[in-house]
């Protein structure tokens, strides 16, 4: 009365199963590894290993590692010093960064200021102080006082000019400390200024 339901295996065609088994045996096996492109020979194992990026390994010798570290540090210092001389932004200290400070350097470097001869005058005044006679010392003191007043006045005037130009070209940028910055650069000899001047005397800024 009750008949057992036939399974899929029973309903399958024996001839069809045999054909499937034969096809599975004849079908090529797919290799999981990646093969070389068509027309390109497969690289040798030694070549493949040589093309791999090898991680940096420190020398086993401690003295060699220390020497290599010193060489890298020296190269970095030389590169940073050269960039500082050129005035590259990334190498500049915080006090020299920004477009306002760059403008201040250009304004100072484009003019022949009285303050850049300050060091020469100081040497002359020191020589006068060693000369005998009280009148010579009084004259030297007066010259020093006049020189200081003149340099401060010049630095203030140049600083005001930089502030006016900065307000026109870089509105919203802070000009705090720019007067002192121009004063300190103005009393340095041109060849000793860092960063090096990038404008010539008389250039219009």
Domain segments of the chain: what residues?
Answer: 71-192
| Residue 195 and residue 85 in contact, taking contact as beta carbons nearer than 8 Å | yes
Residue 132 confidence (pLDDT)? 76
Q: Is 53 helix (H, G, I), strand (E, B) or coil?
A: coil
Question: Could you tell me which residues come within 8 angstroms of residue 25 by beta carbon, excluding any fewer than 6 positions away?
Answer: none
* Angstrom distance (rounded) from CA 63 to CA 2: 92
87 DSSP 8-state letter: T
- 185 and 105 in contact (C-beta within 8 Å)? yes
pLDDT by residue for the chain (205 residues), tens only, comes to 444 444 444 444 444 444 444 444 444 444 444 454 555 566 566 555 555 555 556 566 788 888 888 888 889 999 999 999 999 999 999 999 999 999 999 999 999 988 888 888 888 887 877 777 777 778 888 888 888 899 999 999 999 999 999 999 999 999 999 999 999 999 998 999 999 999 999 999 8
Indicate the pTM of the whole model: 0.64
pLDDT given at position 114: 85
């Amino acid at each position: 009365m009750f008949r057992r339901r036939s399974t899929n295996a029973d309903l399958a065609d024996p001839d069809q199963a045999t054909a499937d088994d034969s096809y599975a045996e004849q079908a090529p096996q797919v290799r999981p590894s990646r093969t070389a492109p068509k027309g390109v020979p497969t690289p040798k194992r030694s070549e493949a290993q040589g093309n791999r990026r090898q991680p940096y390994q420190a020398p086993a010798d401690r003295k060699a590692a220390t020497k290599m570290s010193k060489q890298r540090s020296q190269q970095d210092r030389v590169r940073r010093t050269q960039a500082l001389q050129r005035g590259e932004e990334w190498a500049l200290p915080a006090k020299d960064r920004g477009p306002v400070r760059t403008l201040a350097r250009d304004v100072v470097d484009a003019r022949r200021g009285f303050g850049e001869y300050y060091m020469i005058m100081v040497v002359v005044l020191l020589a006068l102080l060693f000369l005998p006679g009280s009148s010579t010392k009084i004259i030297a003191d007066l010259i020093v006082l006049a020189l200081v007043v003149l340099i401060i006045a010049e630095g203030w005037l140049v600083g005001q000019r930089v502030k006016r130009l900065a307000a026109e070209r870089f509105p919203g940028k802070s000009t705090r400390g720019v007067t002192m910055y121009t004063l300190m650069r103005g009393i340095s000899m041109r060849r000793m200024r860092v960063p090096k001047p990038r404008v010539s005397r008389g250039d219009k800024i």
